[in-house]
Structure formats: structure tokens, C-alpha cells
Amino acid sequence: MSSKLTSIKQARWRKGLRAERWAVFLLRLKGYSINEQRYTSPFGEIDIIAERSGVMVFVEVKSRTNFLNAKESIKPSQRRRIEKAATLYMAKRQHQGYGVRFDAILSVGWRLRHLVDAWRMGD
């Protein structure tokens, strides 16, 4: 039973990695520079950190069976962790004068939906 559970977890992990790769591709097509992928901090991980036009964009990627489930899977506690990690990232790199935005890229099969400004700090 544990080997079955392990294979399910591995399949989900691979699915998530694939969604992140496609999300990076989409962002590059839209003119974003990718600064970091899978950035880790003491507060948690940020899937993608991108930049465009003086705005630092922190992106959460979610892959689910439908877009509503993907959007709703980004819980307030996860948003807080991402915000704390983003604040630390900005402080360490001294990105003064940059705007900050939190986006989400939702993946359903091979379809992607980019939610620009998916949430605001403290929402």
C-alpha cells in the first residue's frame, strides 16, 4: 500500500513540475524575465519569481482537475507564507523602487490560465 501511495505522490509531483515548466514558458512568451524557480525561504517556497516593467511578480502555480478547484486551492495561510517569503526575497536583494504583485497560474491538463494580481498583500 505504501508503494502505491508513493507512486501517487510521485505522479502528482511530476504533474506539478510540468505545470511549473509550462507556466515559465507562458510568462516568457508574455515578456517576463524569470528570476527564480522554486525559491525556498524559511517561510516556504515560491514557485516562480518573475519581473517585467519594474514589477516583481511572485507566482503560485496550481494544477487541478478544473480552474475553480485550482484557484480555491490557494488558501489564505499559503498566501501569507508566500507574502513573507516575497518580503524576505525583496529585502535580501534590495529591489527598492520595484512594484510587487502576486499572480497565480492555474493548470488544467494542458490549458493554463494566468491570474494577474490574484491577491494583494494582506488580503
- Please report the pLDDT score of residue 2 as a whole number: 66
CA pair distance 66, 87, nearest whole angstrom:
30
CA pair distance 113, 106, nearest whole angstrom:
5
CB neighbours (10 Å) of residue 53?
A: 9
Q: In what order do the strands lie in the sheet with 55-63?
A: 33-41, 44-52, 55-63, 99-108, 111-119
> Hey, what domains does the chain have and what are their CATH numbers?
2-119 (3.40.1350.10)
Please report, in tens digits, the pLDDT of each residue of the chain (123 residues total): 567 667 767 777 777 788 999 999 999 999 999 999 999 999 999 999 999 999 999 999 999 999 999 999 999 999 999 999 999 999 988 767 789 999 999 999 889 999 999 999 987
3-state SS class at 122: coil
- Please report the pLDDT score of residue 11 as a whole number: 72
